[in-house]
Structure 1
Amino acid sequence: MAVMEHTTVIRRARVGDLPRLVELVHEHVAYERSAPRPPDLAERLGPQLFAEDARLWVLLAETPDGTVAGYAACSAEFAFWDARHYLHMDCLYLAEEARGHGLGAALMEGVRDLARALGLDQVQWQTPDWNEGAIRFYDRLGATGRPKLRYALTVEAAPFTP
């Protein structure tokens, strides 16, 4: 993946990174003022990330001292109106102390590299409309925003019938 100056490394997440990744996810959830996530997040996330046929990719930003300071989580999606696949970046997060040092740009370059490697020519993502720092960052990258509301609908599990 991408390497930035001062030996900052962007790399795929490995099984041993899961505890730190979950810490960062919980920080991200708090930062975005979202509801807490389940306490068994690592047990639920691990199989999705590290299965042989995984369709979820997590890139980590590692500082020169080896600290995992941020992540970007991506999956391939299909845009019906465009009739093409794209890389959906579900999350990009940097620990507060890691911001402003080029790690975000390095992660985004890693995401672009991943899209290219997968044969995809577009990356899409969203950010809360109140996150002015992220909006400025994405605008500086040359990304374009598309106003839209995102909804979620909880679906109750159907009873199992053999």
Structure 2
Amino acid sequence: METSVQVRRAVTADVALLLPLCAEHAAFERLAPSSEGGVEELVRALGAASTLYAWIAMAGDTAVGYSSATLDFSTLDRATYLHMDCLFVRDGWRNHGVGRLLWNAVHAFAGERGCRNVQWQTPEWNADATRFYRRLGALETIKRRYVLPLRSTV
């Protein structure tokens, strides 16, 4: 890869760049595509009163990856932590340092916000992600994740 990759905070104007990345990420993780638009919700979440923080990796005018996170509070730790919801790099751009650049942005943000730690999950079968996160020095904890849909997805 000759093209330099830059990571920056995503803003509402980046939603058109993020949506295809989110769709590719869902397909990669073997998730059913969302039948709901959700565009307005994503714009609102990235807006001025942010509840979602996101970063986008750009190679020139091409979006090649993204990460996203929310601030949360752990009653067990009695501290704020950053929940990294997504870290995704497009096929063809993996193993070129893009994931590390996105991680560095997430990590720096967590430090700036005084978070005790960063938490996230990855599918059990994603051995590449597991190796990447272990190289970062992350500790693995085993828990089951549950999802209970509250809205119809039809």
Q: TM-score if structure 2 supplies the norm length? A: 0.90
Within the candidate set 121, 130, 135, 2:130 is matched to 135
- Look at both structures and tell me which one has the larger radius of gyration over its CA atoms: 1
Q: CA RMSD in A?
A: 1.6
Instruction: Give 1:29-40 correspondences, 5 Å limit.
Output: 29-40=26-37
In the superposition, relative to structure 1, how do residues 76 and 149 fare at CA in structure 2: closer, same or farther (>3 Å)?
A: same
Instruction: Give 1:33-112 correspondences, 5 Å limit.
Output: 33-50=30-47, 52-63=48-59, 65-112=60-107
For 1:147 and 1:105, the matched residues in 2 are separated by 24
Structure 2 residue 28 is matched with structure 1 residue 28: no
Which 4+ runs in 1 deviate beyond 2 A? 154-157
Q: TM-score if structure 1 supplies the norm length? A: 0.86
Matched residue SS, 1:129? coil
State percent identity of aligned pairs. Answer: 39
Letter in 2 for 1:77: D
Deviations 1:26-83 (CA, angstroms, capped at 9, x unpaired) = 0000110112113413222111111x211210011112x2321111110001111111
Q: Confirm or deny: 8 A CA contact 1:70 1:94 kept in the other structure.
A: yes
- Specify every segment of 5 or more residues in structure 2 that has no aligned partner in the other structure, as ranges: none
